[in-house]
Amino acid sequence: MTACASCGTENGESFRFCLGCGGVLPRRAMTPARIAESEEPPAMHTASDPVTWTSTAAPPHSALELVGTATDGTSTGTHALPNATSSFGRARDGFERDPHLSLQHLSVVPHGERLRVRDEGSLNGIFLRLRPGRSERLVDGVELRLGRQLLRFEALAPQATEDEVERLGASPEGCVGRLVVVLGRRTTGAAFVIRGRGLALGRDRGDVRFPEDAFVSGAHCRIGVEGRDVFLTDLGSSNGTFLRLRDEAELGPGDVLLAGQQLLRVALASR
Does the pLDDT of residue 39 top 50, yes or no? Answer: no
Question: What value does the mean pLDDT of the chain take?
Answer: 82
pLDDT of residue 141: 96
At residue 161, the pLDDT reads 62
pLDDT of residue 22: 54
Helix (H) or strand (E) holding 263: strand 262-268
Q: What does the pLDDT read at residue 160?
A: 63
What ranges make up the beta strands (E) of 133-187?
135-137, 143-146, 149-155, 161-162, 165-166, 175-182
User: Residue 23: what are its φ and ψ, rounded to 5°?
Assistant: -70, 160
H helix or E strand, kind and range, residue 69: strand 61-69
Distance, CA of 175 to CA of 155 (rounded, Å): 9
Residue 127 near residue 145 (C-beta atoms within 8 A): yes
**Nearby residues of 228 by Cβ (< 8 Å), 6 or more positions away:** 176
Identify the CA nearest to 170 among candidates 195, 150, 145. 195
- Model confidence pLDDT, tens digit, residues 224-261: 999 889 999 999 999 999 999 999 999 999 999 999 98
Look at residue 71 in the predicted model and tell me its pLDDT: 65
The more confidently predicted of residues 189 and 270 is 189
Distance CA 153, CA 169 (A): 20
pLDDT given for residue 119 in this prediction: 96
> Which residues, in sequence order, are bridge partners of residue 145?
150, 242
Say what the pLDDT of residue 36 is: 33
Rounded distance between C-alpha atoms, residue 197 and residue 226, angstroms:
9
Q: Which domains does the chain have, with CATH numbers?
A: 11-25+39-125+245-271 (2.60.200.20), 130-158+170-243 (2.60.200)
Higher-confidence residue: 45 or 97?
97
CB 55 within 8 Å of CB 15: no
C-alpha to C-alpha distance for 119 and 105, rounded to whole angstroms: 6
Per-residue model confidence (pLDDT) at position 165? 79
pLDDT computed for residue 248 by the predictor: 94
Low-confidence winner among 38-47, 88-97, 213-222 (lowest mean pLDDT):
38-47
Q: Is there a contact between 159 and 172 (Cβ–Cβ < 8 Å)?
A: yes
